[in-house]
Amino acid sequence: MTKSIFEILRDQIIPPATPALPQIMGIGIIPAKSGEESHSRPFAIGDLIIIQTSYWKRIHFCNINCSAPCKVTWSYKRGISNAKTNEISSKISADLKGIGLPGVSSEIGSKTGTTITVSSEEQGSREFIRTAPINGGVTHAHWQLMERFTVFWKVKKLWWLKSKMEKRVVEGETDIFDESHKFYERSDCPTSHDRESWFEKIKRGLQPLVAQGEKSGLLVAGKPNADGSYSLEGLPGKYKLQDRIPNSLLTRYLRFSGPLPEMLSMPLYLQHYTAPLDSLMGEEKNIEEAKNERHAPRHDKRWLALSIVAGIGIFGAFLSLRSRSEGRYYQDYRRAV
Protein backbone atom coordinates (compact mmCIF):
# COMPACT_ATOMS: atom_id res chain seq x y z
CA MET A 1 0.00 0.00 0.00
CA THR A 2 1.42 3.34 -1.02
CA LYS A 3 1.53 6.32 1.28
CA SER A 4 0.19 9.77 0.49
CA ILE A 5 2.39 12.85 0.29
CA PHE A 6 1.07 14.09 3.62
CA GLU A 7 1.84 10.78 5.34
CA ILE A 8 5.40 10.81 3.97
CA LEU A 9 5.93 14.37 5.18
CA ARG A 10 4.40 13.55 8.57
CA ASP A 11 6.85 10.67 9.07
CA GLN A 12 9.77 13.11 8.85
CA ILE A 13 8.67 15.10 11.94
CA ILE A 14 10.04 14.56 15.44
CA PRO A 15 6.89 14.77 17.63
CA PRO A 16 6.73 17.65 20.12
CA ALA A 17 6.96 17.19 23.89
CA THR A 18 3.70 16.45 25.65
CA PRO A 19 2.36 19.73 27.11
CA ALA A 20 1.60 20.12 30.81
CA LEU A 21 -1.82 18.90 31.89
CA PRO A 22 -4.23 21.80 32.63
CA GLN A 23 -5.01 22.10 36.35
CA ILE A 24 -8.34 22.61 38.08
CA MET A 25 -8.27 26.18 39.40
CA GLY A 26 -11.08 25.99 41.96
CA ILE A 27 -14.10 24.13 43.32
CA GLY A 28 -16.78 23.74 40.67
CA ILE A 29 -14.89 25.94 38.19
CA ILE A 30 -14.91 24.58 34.63
CA PRO A 31 -11.42 24.66 33.05
CA ALA A 32 -10.78 25.89 29.54
CA LYS A 33 -11.71 23.63 26.62
CA SER A 34 -8.05 23.14 25.74
CA GLY A 35 -4.64 23.64 27.33
CA GLU A 36 -1.33 25.08 26.21
CA GLU A 37 0.13 23.92 22.91
CA SER A 38 3.47 22.27 22.27
CA HIS A 39 5.01 22.57 18.78
CA SER A 40 7.52 20.38 17.00
CA ARG A 41 10.61 21.64 15.27
CA PRO A 42 9.51 22.68 11.76
CA PHE A 43 10.37 20.26 8.99
CA ALA A 44 11.19 22.24 5.86
CA ILE A 45 11.83 21.00 2.35
CA GLY A 46 12.17 23.60 -0.37
CA ASP A 47 9.34 26.13 0.06
CA LEU A 48 7.22 23.72 2.11
CA ILE A 49 7.04 23.61 5.94
CA ILE A 50 5.13 21.16 8.13
CA ILE A 51 4.70 21.50 11.92
CA GLN A 52 3.12 19.12 14.41
CA THR A 53 1.29 20.52 17.46
CA SER A 54 0.06 18.69 20.58
CA TYR A 55 -2.48 19.96 23.11
CA TRP A 56 -4.94 18.63 25.71
CA LYS A 57 -8.66 18.83 24.90
CA ARG A 58 -11.20 18.68 27.74
CA ILE A 59 -13.66 15.85 27.06
CA HIS A 60 -15.45 15.69 30.43
CA PHE A 61 -15.98 17.82 33.53
CA CYS A 62 -17.77 16.97 36.78
CA ASN A 63 -18.10 18.20 40.37
CA ILE A 64 -19.24 15.47 42.79
CA ASN A 65 -19.60 15.27 46.56
CA CYS A 66 -19.97 12.88 49.51
CA SER A 67 -19.15 9.46 47.95
CA ALA A 68 -21.07 10.23 44.75
CA PRO A 69 -19.72 8.50 41.62
CA CYS A 70 -19.15 10.00 38.19
CA LYS A 71 -18.98 7.70 35.19
CA VAL A 72 -18.59 8.57 31.52
CA THR A 73 -17.97 6.60 28.32
CA TRP A 74 -16.03 8.44 25.62
CA SER A 75 -16.12 7.32 21.99
CA TYR A 76 -13.62 8.75 19.55
CA LYS A 77 -11.81 8.22 16.25
CA ARG A 78 -8.10 7.71 16.73
CA GLY A 79 -5.78 9.20 14.12
CA ILE A 80 -6.50 11.40 11.09
CA SER A 81 -9.32 10.57 8.74
CA ASN A 82 -8.70 9.33 5.23
CA ALA A 83 -10.80 12.18 3.84
CA LYS A 84 -8.67 14.86 5.52
CA THR A 85 -5.43 13.18 4.46
CA ASN A 86 -6.71 12.85 0.91
CA GLU A 87 -7.75 16.51 0.75
CA ILE A 88 -4.44 17.96 1.89
CA SER A 89 -2.38 15.52 -0.22
CA SER A 90 -4.38 16.36 -3.34
CA LYS A 91 -3.82 20.06 -2.77
CA ILE A 92 -0.07 19.62 -2.28
CA SER A 93 0.11 17.36 -5.35
CA ALA A 94 -1.66 19.93 -7.51
CA ASP A 95 0.74 22.69 -6.45
CA LEU A 96 3.91 20.62 -6.16
CA LYS A 97 5.33 21.70 -9.50
CA GLY A 98 4.96 25.34 -8.53
CA ILE A 99 6.21 25.01 -4.99
CA GLY A 100 9.86 24.96 -5.97
CA LEU A 101 11.16 21.92 -4.11
CA PRO A 102 14.70 21.31 -5.33
CA GLY A 103 15.36 19.12 -2.30
CA VAL A 104 12.27 16.95 -2.69
CA SER A 105 13.19 13.30 -2.24
CA SER A 106 12.64 10.79 -5.01
CA GLU A 107 10.26 8.95 -2.68
CA ILE A 108 7.95 11.97 -2.45
CA GLY A 109 8.37 12.87 -6.09
CA SER A 110 7.50 9.37 -7.26
CA LYS A 111 4.21 9.41 -5.41
CA THR A 112 2.86 12.80 -6.38
CA GLY A 113 0.27 11.27 -8.65
CA THR A 114 -0.86 8.45 -6.39
CA THR A 115 -4.17 8.28 -4.57
CA ILE A 116 -4.41 7.54 -0.88
CA THR A 117 -4.78 3.93 0.10
CA VAL A 118 -3.74 4.14 3.75
CA SER A 119 -6.18 5.25 6.45
CA SER A 120 -4.93 5.78 10.01
CA GLU A 121 -8.32 6.54 11.60
CA GLU A 122 -9.78 3.86 13.90
CA GLN A 123 -12.75 3.78 16.26
CA GLY A 124 -11.99 3.71 19.98
CA SER A 125 -13.84 3.89 23.31
CA ARG A 126 -12.83 4.56 26.92
CA GLU A 127 -14.71 4.44 30.23
CA PHE A 128 -13.78 6.79 33.08
CA ILE A 129 -14.95 6.51 36.70
CA ARG A 130 -14.28 8.88 39.59
CA THR A 131 -15.77 8.71 43.11
CA ALA A 132 -15.83 11.58 45.60
CA PRO A 133 -14.31 11.22 49.09
CA ILE A 134 -16.70 10.07 51.82
CA ASN A 135 -16.44 13.38 53.66
CA GLY A 136 -15.62 15.71 50.77
CA GLY A 137 -15.86 16.48 47.12
CA VAL A 138 -13.78 16.58 43.96
CA THR A 139 -13.85 18.81 40.92
CA HIS A 140 -12.24 16.91 38.07
CA ALA A 141 -11.78 16.92 34.31
CA HIS A 142 -10.75 14.27 31.79
CA TRP A 143 -8.46 15.25 28.93
CA GLN A 144 -7.52 13.73 25.58
CA LEU A 145 -4.25 14.54 23.81
CA MET A 146 -4.84 15.96 20.33
CA GLU A 147 -2.43 16.27 17.41
CA ARG A 148 -2.54 18.93 14.74
CA PHE A 149 -0.48 19.20 11.55
CA THR A 150 -0.08 22.57 9.84
CA VAL A 151 1.42 22.71 6.35
CA PHE A 152 2.61 25.94 4.70
CA TRP A 153 3.94 26.31 1.19
CA LYS A 154 4.42 29.01 -1.41
CA VAL A 155 3.10 28.73 -4.92
CA LYS A 156 4.24 30.85 -7.88
CA LYS A 157 2.62 29.60 -11.05
CA LEU A 158 3.84 32.42 -13.33
CA TRP A 159 7.24 34.10 -12.98
CA TRP A 160 5.87 37.67 -13.02
CA LEU A 161 3.27 37.00 -10.30
CA LYS A 162 3.88 37.32 -6.58
CA SER A 163 4.16 34.05 -4.62
CA LYS A 164 0.99 32.98 -2.82
CA MET A 165 1.10 31.41 0.64
CA GLU A 166 -0.99 28.26 1.03
CA LYS A 167 -1.92 26.72 4.38
CA ARG A 168 -3.72 23.54 5.36
CA VAL A 169 -4.51 22.22 8.85
CA VAL A 170 -5.56 18.69 9.84
CA GLU A 171 -6.30 17.41 13.34
CA GLY A 172 -6.66 13.98 14.88
CA GLU A 173 -7.31 12.33 18.24
CA THR A 174 -4.83 10.10 20.05
CA ASP A 175 -5.10 7.20 22.49
CA ILE A 176 -3.58 9.26 25.31
CA PHE A 177 -5.86 10.37 28.17
CA ASP A 178 -5.33 11.94 31.58
CA GLU A 179 -7.24 13.48 34.48
CA SER A 180 -6.82 16.51 36.76
CA HIS A 181 -8.55 17.04 40.13
CA LYS A 182 -9.13 19.37 43.02
CA PHE A 183 -10.14 17.53 46.23
CA TYR A 184 -11.72 19.31 49.17
CA GLU A 185 -13.36 18.63 52.51
CA ARG A 186 -17.08 19.36 53.00
CA SER A 187 -18.98 20.09 56.20
CA ASP A 188 -22.38 18.94 54.87
CA CYS A 189 -21.61 15.28 54.06
CA PRO A 190 -23.41 12.72 56.28
CA THR A 191 -20.07 11.59 57.77
CA SER A 192 -18.64 15.10 58.23
CA HIS A 193 -19.39 15.31 61.96
CA ASP A 194 -18.07 18.39 63.82
CA ARG A 195 -16.50 19.73 60.64
CA GLU A 196 -16.36 23.47 60.12
CA SER A 197 -17.52 25.09 56.93
CA TRP A 198 -15.17 27.34 55.03
CA PHE A 199 -17.22 30.31 56.16
CA GLU A 200 -16.42 29.45 59.79
CA LYS A 201 -12.75 28.78 59.00
CA ILE A 202 -12.28 32.09 57.24
CA LYS A 203 -14.09 33.85 60.09
CA ARG A 204 -11.47 32.36 62.46
CA GLY A 205 -8.67 33.87 60.39
CA LEU A 206 -7.73 30.78 58.35
CA GLN A 207 -6.84 31.18 54.70
CA PRO A 208 -7.65 28.78 51.84
CA LEU A 209 -4.51 27.22 50.35
CA VAL A 210 -3.79 24.32 48.00
CA ALA A 211 -1.41 21.38 48.32
CA GLN A 212 -0.90 21.06 44.58
CA GLY A 213 0.69 18.24 42.61
CA GLU A 214 1.29 17.75 38.90
CA LYS A 215 -2.29 16.60 38.29
CA SER A 216 -4.14 16.83 41.61
CA GLY A 217 -4.61 19.34 44.38
CA LEU A 218 -6.06 19.31 47.90
CA LEU A 219 -7.72 22.35 49.43
CA VAL A 220 -6.27 23.03 52.91
CA ALA A 221 -6.70 25.71 55.58
CA GLY A 222 -3.71 27.65 56.88
CA LYS A 223 -3.16 30.41 59.42
CA PRO A 224 -0.70 33.06 58.19
CA ASN A 225 2.28 33.76 60.44
CA ALA A 226 4.35 36.95 60.81
CA ASP A 227 7.33 35.41 58.99
CA GLY A 228 5.29 34.70 55.84
CA SER A 229 4.80 31.01 56.61
CA TYR A 230 1.54 29.15 57.28
CA SER A 231 0.44 26.81 60.05
CA LEU A 232 -1.68 24.21 58.28
CA GLU A 233 -4.76 22.87 60.01
CA GLY A 234 -4.14 19.32 61.26
CA LEU A 235 -0.43 19.33 60.47
CA PRO A 236 2.47 20.28 62.79
CA GLY A 237 5.15 22.75 61.76
CA LYS A 238 5.23 25.77 59.48
CA TYR A 239 5.24 25.84 55.70
CA LYS A 240 5.98 28.53 53.15
CA LEU A 241 4.65 28.75 49.61
CA GLN A 242 6.24 26.17 47.29
CA ASP A 243 7.31 24.01 50.27
CA ARG A 244 6.62 20.31 49.82
CA ILE A 245 3.66 19.08 51.87
CA PRO A 246 3.63 15.53 53.35
CA ASN A 247 1.18 13.30 51.51
CA SER A 248 -0.03 12.04 54.91
CA LEU A 249 -1.97 15.30 55.09
CA LEU A 250 -4.48 13.82 52.64
CA THR A 251 -5.67 11.15 55.06
CA ARG A 252 -6.06 13.78 57.79
CA TYR A 253 -8.50 15.72 55.62
CA LEU A 254 -10.24 13.17 53.42
CA ARG A 255 -11.53 9.61 53.63
CA PHE A 256 -11.93 7.46 50.54
CA SER A 257 -14.12 4.39 50.16
CA GLY A 258 -11.40 2.72 48.08
CA PRO A 259 -7.63 3.05 47.77
CA LEU A 260 -6.10 6.52 47.64
CA PRO A 261 -6.09 7.80 44.03
CA GLU A 262 -2.72 7.17 42.41
CA MET A 263 -2.40 10.85 41.42
CA LEU A 264 -2.37 11.89 45.07
CA SER A 265 0.83 9.92 45.71
CA MET A 266 2.73 12.49 43.64
CA PRO A 267 4.66 15.31 45.40
CA LEU A 268 2.47 18.14 46.69
CA TYR A 269 3.57 21.77 47.08
CA LEU A 270 1.88 24.63 48.94
CA GLN A 271 0.21 27.26 46.73
CA HIS A 272 -2.36 30.03 47.03
CA TYR A 273 -6.00 29.26 46.25
CA THR A 274 -6.46 31.60 43.28
CA ALA A 275 -10.14 30.96 42.47
CA PRO A 276 -12.98 33.24 43.70
CA LEU A 277 -13.84 32.70 47.38
CA ASP A 278 -17.54 32.32 46.63
CA SER A 279 -16.67 28.91 45.19
CA LEU A 280 -15.87 27.86 48.78
CA MET A 281 -19.03 29.27 50.36
CA GLY A 282 -21.22 27.09 48.13
CA GLU A 283 -20.54 24.02 50.30
CA GLU A 284 -23.15 25.19 52.84
CA LYS A 285 -26.01 24.92 50.36
CA ASN A 286 -27.90 21.69 50.80
CA ILE A 287 -29.87 19.88 48.16
CA GLU A 288 -33.18 21.58 49.01
CA GLU A 289 -31.59 25.04 48.81
CA ALA A 290 -30.04 24.21 45.48
CA LYS A 291 -33.39 22.91 44.24
CA ASN A 292 -35.11 26.12 45.36
CA GLU A 293 -32.46 28.16 43.60
CA ARG A 294 -33.05 26.25 40.38
CA HIS A 295 -36.80 26.87 40.56
CA ALA A 296 -36.58 30.50 41.66
CA PRO A 297 -35.53 31.90 38.30
CA ARG A 298 -38.47 30.11 36.63
CA HIS A 299 -40.94 31.78 39.03
CA ASP A 300 -39.20 35.11 38.51
CA LYS A 301 -39.45 34.71 34.75
CA ARG A 302 -43.13 33.72 35.03
CA TRP A 303 -43.96 36.79 37.12
CA LEU A 304 -41.93 38.96 34.78
CA ALA A 305 -43.85 37.65 31.79
CA LEU A 306 -47.21 38.23 33.54
CA SER A 307 -46.15 41.75 34.50
CA ILE A 308 -45.18 42.53 30.92
CA VAL A 309 -48.50 41.19 29.58
CA ALA A 310 -50.45 43.19 32.19
CA GLY A 311 -48.44 46.32 31.39
CA ILE A 312 -49.11 45.94 27.67
CA GLY A 313 -52.84 45.49 28.38
CA ILE A 314 -53.04 48.60 30.55
CA PHE A 315 -51.08 50.64 28.02
CA GLY A 316 -53.35 49.39 25.22
CA ALA A 317 -56.47 50.34 27.18
CA PHE A 318 -55.02 53.80 27.82
CA LEU A 319 -54.35 54.32 24.10
CA SER A 320 -57.87 53.15 23.27
CA LEU A 321 -59.48 55.59 25.71
CA ARG A 322 -57.27 58.40 24.49
CA SER A 323 -58.20 57.65 20.89
CA ARG A 324 -61.91 57.73 21.71
CA SER A 325 -61.51 60.99 23.61
CA GLU A 326 -59.66 62.62 20.72
CA GLY A 327 -62.37 61.38 18.31
CA ARG A 328 -65.15 62.97 20.36
CA TYR A 329 -63.18 66.21 20.62
CA TYR A 330 -62.72 66.30 16.83
CA GLN A 331 -66.47 65.74 16.23
CA ASP A 332 -67.38 68.57 18.65
CA TYR A 333 -64.89 70.83 16.88
CA ARG A 334 -66.45 70.04 13.45
CA ARG A 335 -69.94 70.89 14.71
CA ALA A 336 -68.74 74.20 16.13
CA VAL A 337 -67.13 75.14 12.82
Q: Where are the domains of the chain?
A: 5-183, 185-287, 289-337
Which H, E and C letters describe the chain, residue by residue?
CCCCHHHHHHHCCCCCCCCCCCCCCCCCCCCCCECCCEECCCEEECCEEEEEEEEEEEEEEEEEECCCEEEEEEEEEEECCHHHHHHHHHHHHHHHHHHCCCCCCHHHHCCCCCCCCCCCCEEEEEEEEEECCCCEEEEEEEEEEEEEEEEEEEECCCCCCCCEEEEEEEEEEEEEEEEEEEEEECCCCCCCCCCCCHHHHHHCCCEEEEEECCCEEEEEEEEECCCCCEEECCCCCCECCCCEECCCHHHHHCCCCCCCCHHHHCCEEEEECCCCCHHHHHHHCCHHHHHHHHHHHHHHHHHHHHHHHHHHHHHHHHHHHHHHHHHHHHHHHHHHC
CATH fold, domain 5-183, is Proaerolysin; Chain A, domain 3 (2.170.15)
pLDDT in tens, 26-50: 999 999 999 999 999 998 887 788 8
Q: How many angstroms separate the CA atoms of 12 and 16, rounded?
A: 13
From the list 108, 130, 90, the residue with the least C-alpha distance to 12 is 108
- Residue 186 above 90 pLDDT? no
- Mean local confidence (pLDDT), 73-81: 84
Under the banding of pLDDT at 50, 70 and 90, the label for residue 111 is very low
Which backbone phi and psi does 245 adopt, to 5 degrees? -105, 135
pLDDT at 287: 35
Q: Considering the chain, what is the average pLDDT of its residues? A: 76
- Mean local confidence (pLDDT), 177-187: 91
pLDDT higher at 101 or 140: 140
- Residue 24 above 70 pLDDT? yes
pLDDT at 80: 78
The proportion of the chain whose per-residue pLDDT surpasses 90, expressed as a percent, equals 33
- Mean local confidence (pLDDT), 51-77: 92
pLDDT higher at 164 or 192: 164
- Residue 1 above 50 pLDDT? yes
Mean pLDDT lowest for which of 25-29, 76-80, 96-100, 281-285? 96-100
pLDDT at 228: 94
pLDDT at 160: 67
- Residue 229 above 60 pLDDT? yes
The proportion of the chain whose per-residue pLDDT surpasses 70, expressed as a percent, equals 69
pLDDT at 145: 95
pLDDT higher at 25 or 91: 25
- Mean local confidence (pLDDT), 285-296: 40
pLDDT at 251: 72
pLDDT in tens, 112-136: 333 333 345 678 888 988 889 888 8
Mean pLDDT lowest for which of 13-27, 30-44, 305-319? 305-319
